[in-house]
Copies of this chain bind each other. A is one copy, B any other.
Amino acid sequence: MVTIADVARHAGVSISTVSYVLSGKRSISADTERKVRDSIHDLGYQPNAGARALASSKSNVLALVVPLRSDMNLPVLMQFATGVVTAARAHEHDVLLLTQDEGVAGLRRVAGTALTDAIIVMDVEQRDPRIDVLRRLHQPSVLIGVPEEPSGLACVDLDFAAAGGECVDHLCDLGHRSLGFIGAPTPVYERGTSFARRTLAGFQSAAERRGVAAASVACDPSYAGVRDALAELRAKTPDLTGVIVHNEDALAPLLDIVQAEGSAIPDDLSIVAICPDQHAQNLPVPVSAVTIPTEEIARNAVEMVMHALDSGMDAEVRLLSPELHIRASSGPAPVSAPREANAASPDTDQARP
């Protein structure tokens, strides 16, 4: 193994000079710097991470806590994770993977042993048992998501309430007067998952503000689940003309079901989603959607962590503004309510073009 002493000897300088060339923490003559860099290159020197961590009290590693529940949306999760890794690498940091099942003990372990410098937690719930621990930890942390009581914590997320509102406004502006909301599976709400509840709340208050009829349902991401959800919405608001979907997995089945029953999108039914842009684009009908800017959220999380690391933590809650991309799935409300009989007699009408 090549050590810093080998480099120093090879370059004919002291150990500290090599160290300072690497860290840039004091000025070095151009000549010395060149000699040192050449030696580093010639010898293939790579500084030892453990020694560095011990001497500097910085591991240059971030912990990332990912949920492993299967009802979470995997693609979104994956995008967050790779976004965090990429952003961390841009700041010379690596990422240690913690699964949620180690729970609070995992947080205490990595912080207590100084394995990591800071912690990023995904999929935060409204009343999350981990946030108390995080507050007490002598290590900065950033949550992706916003708990009920975020005081003293740094959080980033999409402004899901505004996102829900923006979808409502878009549909209302198109003349829709009766809206439905297809949400995540029931357990997600029962757990109090922050983003799911905030979106729903945003939908409801915007609908109220605009004075339109509105109903919402949780939705299992299976065909049957989506069929049931749509039927339930129609039962609650018989002249439904616009649906907002905050459930990626429900989107493809929904389009298929609507098409199979002979309804046209957006002529009979407008659909707006809240999901990653790429997913909305690649459906059979390109779907109008509020983007979930996973990569941007991840980058923000890492930047907040980096800031906390060298300027002290501040308990900012950063909510990114939603951006609606209008595509083919949303259009003007039909002139007359298109399917008054539908909720009552689902089996008529099948032969429609």
**Measuring CB to CB, which residues of chain A are less than 8 angstroms from any residue of chain B?**
44, 46-54, 59, 61, 64, 68, 70, 74-75, 77-78, 81-82, 85-86, 89, 94-99, 101-102, 109-110, 112-115, 222-224, 252, 256, 260, 278, 282, 284
- A54 contacts B48, CB within 8 Å? yes
In the complex, the chain B residue whose C-beta lies closest to that of A77 is B78
In the assembly, what is the distance between CA of A81 and CA of B96, in Å? 12
- B59 contacts A50, CB within 8 Å? yes
Q: How many copies of this chain does one complex carry?
A: 2
A52 partner residues in chain B, CB cutoff 8 A: 50
Identify 14 new A-B residue pairs, CB closer than 8 A, beyond the known A49-B114, A70-B75, A86-B101.
A44-B112, A46-B112, A46-B113, A48-B54, A49-B53, A49-B59, A50-B50, A50-B53, A50-B54, A53-B54, A74-B74, A77-B78, A78-B78, A222-B284
In the assembly, what is the distance between CA of A154 and CA of B143, in Å? 38
Given that A50-B114, A114-B49 are known contacts, is A97 also in contact with B81, CB under 8 Å in the complex?
yes
Majority DSSP secondary structure for residues of A touching B: helix
B51, B94, B101, B284: the one within 8 Å of A224 (CB): B284
A70 partner residues in chain B, CB cutoff 8 A: 75, 278
- A74 contacts B81, CB within 8 Å? no
- A97 contacts B252, CB within 8 Å? no
A112 partner residues in chain B, CB cutoff 8 A: 44, 46
B44, B86, B97, B284: the one within 8 Å of A95 (CB): B97
B59, B86, B278, B284: the one within 8 Å of A223 (CB): B284
In the assembly, what is the distance between CA of A75 and CA of B77, in Å? 11
